[in-house]
Amino acid sequence: MADDSLPYDEATFPGWVKTVDSWPWQHVGPSKWKKVGQCPRCHHEIYGVFYERTILFSDDAGETHSGSPEEVYVECNCGAPHAGRPEKETGCGPDGFFPAPSKVQGGSDGS
């Protein structure tokens, strides 16, 4: 059951990360993936979205390379009014970085 009474707290406990990491990435459109579940802390529905893309970057020697992000930032982004939440934030506070779906599931076709 969702708990609106929990105050905002940015502390992320290991169980939060482990639970969110266990949610499968769902291929929901061209180059778009989504991870959905109940926040392990406040139990409201939250989601993370990943768009496959290629980025260009330079190394220390000035060589240009291309690649895809290997991690995706996911946070509790529920709309519940958790007390003490900073004005421009959403959710109850926890967050983490998770392997990008193309790294977990073998590429853009979801295999």
pLDDT at 27: 92
Domain range list for the chain = 14-104
Percent of the chain whose pLDDT exceeds 90: 57
pLDDT at 82: 95
Lowest mean pLDDT among 44-48, 69-73, 103-107: 103-107
Long-range CB contact pairs, 40-43, < 8 A, 24+:
40/15, 40/16, 40/94, 41/6, 41/9, 41/13, 41/16, 41/76, 41/92, 41/93, 41/94, 42/2, 42/3, 42/4, 42/6, 42/76, 42/78, 42/80, 42/82, 42/91, 42/92, 43/1, 43/2, 43/3
